[in-house]
Amino acid sequence: MKHCLVVDDSSVIRKVARRILEGHDLRISEAENGQSALALCKQAMPDGILLDWNMPVMDGFDFLAELRSLPGGDAPKVVFCTTENDVAHIARAMRAGADEYVMKPFDKEIITSKFAEVGLL
C-alpha cells in the first residue's frame, strides 16, 4: 500500500484530503506544518505528499527545498495545494521540485486526477 503524507495547517483540509485519499487505498499520515512533515519524512519517506503552501513554522516551499535535499527526498511525488493562483507562484513551486499542483478549494475529482497524473493512483 502506498503511503501519502498530507501537510496542511488546517485540520479540516487534512481531514477532507485523508477521506479522499483513503478511498483510493492509500495509507495516510498528517502533519500541520513543514517542520513536522520533514521529521516524518526522515523517519519514513512517503510515496506522495499533498503539500500546503502557506503554513506557520515552515511553509511548503521551504519544506520542499529541504525534502529534495534529503537522501531519498527526490522520490516522493509532491502535489502542491494552494490558494495562490498566480502563475509565478505555481512556476516557483514547480522549479522547487513539485510534481503537480491543485487549487483550493479542491474536490474528490481534482485530487484523484492529480494523484493519478503523478502515478500515485
Spatial contact of 4 and 46, defined as CB atoms under 8 Å apart: yes
pLDDT given at position 1 = 93
What span, in angstroms and rounded, lies between the C-alpha atoms of 78 and 119?
Answer: 11
Per-10-residue mean pLDDT for the chain, 121 residues long? 97 96 95 97 97 92 94 96 81 90 92 95 91
Strands 27-31 and 3-7: parallel
pLDDT given at position 87 = 82
Q: pTM to 2 decimals?
A: 0.94
Domains by residue range for the chain, with CATH: 3-118 (3.40.50.2300)
pLDDT given at position 85 = 74
Spatial contact of 2 and 26, defined as CB atoms under 8 Å apart: yes
pLDDT given at position 60 = 92
- In terms of phi and psi (left: phi > 0; alpha: psi -120 to 50; beta: otherwise), the region of 53 is alpha
pLDDT given at position 92 = 86
